[in-house]
Amino acid sequence: LRRSIDNIDAALIHMLAERFRATQAVGRLKAEHGLPPSDPERERLQTARLRSLAEEAELDPEFAEKYFNFIVAEVIRHHTQIAAGG
């Protein structure tokens, strides 16, 4: 069981790394086109979508939303840095 958990944790880290590579590319595009770092409507739709997916997967939707909010905060921080030239 621990090996299985370790494998899942490794997969999650690799998936997060891939997700952040994609959001970094989005951040560069936003900076090039003068778009704001955050997109509240997209975030609202994604939150609803992920809550629904969590319910289907029998995962606490509150946890899924907290997870998503944590990720979005980091993405916005990255986008802000990119827009500032960093």
Is the pLDDT at 46 greater than 80? The verdict is yes
The sign of the dihedral angle between the CA atoms of 78, 84, 85, 86 is negative
pTM metric for this prediction: 0.86
* Average pLDDT over every residue of 20-39: 96
For residues 61 and 66, give the distance between their C-alpha atoms in angstroms, rounded to a whole number. Answer: 9
Q: What is the pLDDT of residue 86?
A: 72
Percent of the chain with pLDDT over 90: 98
* The one-letter amino acid at 53: L
* Average pLDDT over every residue of 37-45: 96
